[in-house]
């Protein structure tokens, strides 16, 4: 180690003290809201472990390999610096992703569990695996096999290990208290070999977080207390049946046309399309302004073959789209640059490409829950205002809801009825999220829900 003496108590929060040297509990569950420092703790604990114990190895896992490098791996590299140790004392490799302490040969292995074969070559024949860390545990439940997968991972690494062995689990709780991961937590809490610690940013010294982060949290508290409790306090707030409960017609609808000054502030104009043959097809047009940090609804087109009794061909829809683009260009003096379109509507996309060659076509990203979460943030922080012309959208948004039975079953499934403009809205938000996130407070916009946010 370097001559500089670092006290562990100076770099982890007090709530984590009981965990640090605890080898009695096999299972340690650590959950938090944003900025709870659980990932920092896990990395510090892991690095310290391979230094202080001359005979051990550690496995750090996420559900998917492609998440490792930018998250847990980099967090462990930062932990070396926080502990005041020279990186020269370690052998650090990216392929394979490993950190080895040169003095004793102890190694931290980073891996995903994309498939059952991913962990087969991890078992260290020379050093017993004494710690397995599962980061972003919700991914194992939402996109894996949940409890069964965790049990298989434990069985893989505990086999033949008669010495100490611990599993640590890190995650941000979902909104729904009935979600499978929360049911698993409840069952685990009944076991004598399990400890569960919950933290939030209020447990962390202000000087570690900085005033800006705390201001972001309090700004959300003032705007939307329910979302604050989930995002920042890590509480399972439950799901409203109405998805966009924060929508306010007074705050979110402009009952007039844009002024010339507002029109000139628009940086770009885009469209989003949800297509149906018998069901409704909608085109929603939006403009965003980087100077005003706002999204403006501009206009829409909506047609339902079922409701009108008149079906339209993709070619006809494409011509309607072209007419709307020309109308938008004439009124706002800007061409529609991009259209985010339902990935299943390949025929319509080809027709639009033919008649509107100046419009770049993008397949809409159809991650429903992530798209909803991002749209909720945009609405909560009042970074979007819809046009009175978007009649179909304004009809759908107050009623767009989750299926009640799905909530009770621990899932979040929107009712697939009168949701076409809602899909288009979500496509737009996902499509330009790289721009929109800059409109939001830094510690909200810069954290992707898929990566938890510590």
Residue 393 in contact with residue 429, Cβ under 8 Å?
A: no
Cβ-Cβ contacts under 8 Å for 110 (sequence gap 6 or more): 60, 61, 68, 72, 73, 76, 97, 98
171 vs 82, 182, 347, 409, 438, CA distance in Å?
22, 11, 41, 20, 25
Q: Which of 49-53, 86-90, 160-164 bottoms out in mean pLDDT, i.e. has the lowest? A: 160-164
Mean pLDDT of the 89-95 span: 95
Superfamily of domain 13-205: P-loop containing nucleotide triphosphate hydrolases (3.40.50.300)
- pLDDT higher than threshold 90 for residue 141: yes
- Check residue 139 and give its pLDDT: 93
pTM of the predicted model, to two decimals?
0.79
Domains of the chain, by residue range, sit at: 13-205, 249-451
SS3 414: strand
76's tokens: 């462990």
304-345 confidence digits (pLDDT tens): 877 666 888 999 999 999 999 999 999 999 999 999 998 889
The per-residue DSSP string of 125-153 comes to SSS-EEEEEE-STHHHHHSS-THHHHHHH
- pLDDT higher than threshold 70 for residue 4: no
CATH number assigned to the domain with residue range 249-451, chosen from the 4 options 3.40.640.10, 3.30.590.10, 3.40.50.800, 3.30.420.280: 3.30.420.280
* Sheet with 166-171, side-by-side order of all strands: 90-94, 97-101, 107-112, 57-62, 129-134, 166-171, 27-32, 194-199
- pLDDT higher than threshold 50 for residue 2: no
Q: What mean pLDDT value characterizes the chain?
A: 91
Residue 231 in contact with residue 220, Cβ under 8 Å?
A: yes
Mean pLDDT of the 278-293 span: 93
- Check residue 120 and give its pLDDT: 59
Residue 393: other Cβ atoms inside 10 A: 22
- Check residue 404 and give its pLDDT: 85
């Amino acid at each position: 180690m370097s001559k500089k003496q670092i006290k562990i108590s100076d770099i982890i929060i007090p709530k984590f003290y009981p965990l640090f040297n605890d080898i009695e509990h096999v299972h340690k569950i650590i959950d938090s809201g944003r900025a709870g420092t659980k990932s920092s703790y896990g990395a510090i604990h892991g690095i310290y472990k391979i230094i202080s114990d001359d005979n051990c190895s550690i496995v750090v896992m996420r559900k998917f390999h492609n998440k490792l490098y930018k998250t847990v791996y980099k967090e462990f590299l930062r932990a070396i610096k926080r502990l005041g140790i020279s990186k020269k004392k370690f052998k650090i490799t990216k392929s394979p992703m490993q950190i080895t302490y040169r003095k004793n040969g102890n190694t931290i292995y980073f891996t995903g569990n994309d498939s059952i074969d991913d962990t087969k070559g991890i078992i260290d024949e020379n050093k017993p695996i004494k710690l397995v860390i599962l980061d972003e545990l919700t991914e194992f439940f939402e996109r894996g096999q949940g409890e069964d997968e965790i049990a298989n991972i434990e069985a893989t690494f505990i086999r033949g290990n008669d010495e100490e062995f611990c599993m640590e689990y890190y995650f941000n709780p979902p909104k729904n208290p009935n979600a499978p991961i929360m049911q698993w937590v409840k069952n685990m809490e009944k076991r004598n070999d399990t400890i569960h610690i919950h933290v939030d940013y209020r447990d962390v010294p202000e000087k570690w977080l900085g005033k800006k982060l705390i201001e972001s949290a309090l700004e959300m508290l003032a705007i939307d207390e329910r979302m604050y409790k989930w995002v920042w306090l890590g509480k399972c707030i439950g799901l409203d049946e109405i998805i966009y409960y924060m929508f306010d017609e007074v705050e979110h609808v402009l009952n007039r046309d844009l002024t010339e000054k507002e029109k000139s502030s628009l940086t770009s104009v885009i469209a989003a399309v949800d297509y149906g043959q018998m069901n409704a097809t909608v085109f929603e047009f939006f403009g965003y302004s980087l100077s005003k940090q706002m999204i403006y609804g501009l206009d829409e087109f909506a047609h339902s073959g079922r409701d009108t009794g008149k079906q339209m061909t993709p070619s006809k829809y494409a011509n309607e789209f072209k007419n709307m683009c020309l109308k938008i260009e004439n009124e706002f003096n800007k061409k529609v640059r991009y259209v985010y379109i339902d990935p299943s509507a390949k025929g319509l996309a080809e027709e639009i490409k033919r008649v509107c060659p100046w419009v770049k076509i993008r397949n809409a990203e159809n991650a429903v829950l992530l798209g909803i979460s991002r749209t909720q943030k945009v609405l909560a922080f009042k970074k979007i205002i819809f046009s009175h012309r978007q009649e179909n959208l304004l009809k759908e948004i107050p009623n767009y809801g989750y299926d009640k039975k799905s909530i009770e079953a621990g899932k979040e499934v929107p009712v697939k009825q009168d949701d076409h403009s809602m899909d288009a809205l979500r496509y737009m938000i996902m499509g330009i999220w790289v721009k929109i996130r800059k409109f939001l407070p830094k510690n909200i916009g810069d954290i992707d829900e898929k990566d938890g946010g510590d």
